[in-house]
Amino acid sequence: MKLHGRAALVTGAARGIGLAIASRFVTEGARVALVDIDRGVEGAAKRLGEGALGLVADVTATADVERAVTTVHQRWGRLDVVVNNAGITGGSKLTWEVTDAEWQRVLAVDLTSVFLVSRAAVRVMLGQGSGRIINIASVAGKEGNPNASAYSASKAGVIGLTKSLGKELATTGVLVNCVAPAVVKTELFSQMTEQHIQYMLSKIPMNRFGEVDEVAEMVAWLASDLCTFATGATFDLSGGRATY
C-alpha cells in the first residue's frame, strides 16, 4: 500500500478521472477528501468507505478552497497529497466565436483553481517538510487543439505553473508534477458524436483511448515515495500522440 496513512485531496472527484484517482488512493491506504462543486461528491465518497470524505466546494473561489484545505488538515492532522483534477472543456468553438464569459470560465476552472488549491496546500506542506502536488493537464496544452483555444491555453498554463512551482519547492521536500493525458474514456463520450470520437481516435498511434484507471496508476506513483527525483515534470499518457 504505497500511500498508507497519507492524507490526500482530489478536486473534480465526483466522477471520471478524479473519482478513479480517489478510489485508487483509498486502495493504496490513503484517507482522501473528494472535492467537487457537484453535490454528488458526497455520495461518491460514501461509496468509497470510511477512508473518504466528500466536500462540496467551488475550486474557483478562494474561500471555498481555503475551507476545504483547512478541513482536511484539521480532520487528519496533515495534508500529504493534492491532485488538481477539476476541469471543463468549455465546448467546441472557433477562437473568434468564444465569448468573454466562456473564456474566463474555462481559465477559472482549469487554471486558476490549480493556483488557488496549490497555494493553500503548499502553506500546509511547507510546515510538514513534505508533500506531493499532481496537476492533471492535457496533451492539448502541448499541441493546441482546434476549436478549444481556452481549454488548450489553460492546460498549457497548468504545465507552466507546474514547472515554476516545482522549481520553487525543489529543496523543500514538496514535489510538483503534472500528467498530460490524451483523450480518456469517460461518461463525456455520451455527449459526443461518433464522428468526433473517431476523429479523436485517429490522432492516437496506439489506436485506443486512455482509461481512467491508467491515469490513476500514474498519479498514485507520483504521489508515493517511489517518486523521489521528478519535480516540475510533465508525464504524458497519450498513447504516442504527444511529440514533445
| Segment 138-163, tens digit of pLDDT | 999 999 988 899 999 999 999 999 99
Quick one: pLDDT at residue 1?
A: 81
Single out the catalytic residue among 33, 68, 85, 151. 151
Q: Residues 74, 18: contact at Cβ < 8 Å?
A: no
Q: Residue 244 — very low, low, confident or very high, per pLDDT cuts 50/70/90?
A: confident
User: Average pLDDT for residues 172-195, to the nearest whole number?
Assistant: 86
Among 8-17, 58-67, 90-99, the range scoring the smallest mean pLDDT is 90-99
Quick one: pLDDT at residue 185?
A: 85
User: Average pLDDT for residues 4-20, to the nearest whole number?
Assistant: 97
User: Average pLDDT for residues 93-107, to the nearest whole number?
Assistant: 96
**Helix, strand, or coil (residue 3):** coil
| Residue 179 clears pLDDT 80, i.e. is over it | yes
Q: Residue 29 — very low, low, confident or very high, per pLDDT cuts 50/70/90?
A: very high
E strands present in the chain: 7-11, 31-36, 52-56, 81-84, 131-136, 174-181, 233-237
> Cα separation of 129 and 146, whole Å?
42
Quick one: pLDDT at residue 195?
A: 80
Domains and CATH numbers, the chain: 7-237 (3.40.50.720)
H-run or E-run covering 235: strand 233-237
Q: Residues 148, 94: contact at Cβ < 8 Å?
A: no
| Residue 192 clears pLDDT 70, i.e. is over it | no
Chain mean pLDDT for the chain: 95
> Cα separation of 241 and 73, whole Å?
39
Residue 151 annotated to the active site: yes
> Cα separation of 118 and 57, whole Å?
15
**113-128 and 149-168 helices cross at what angle (nearest 10)?**
20
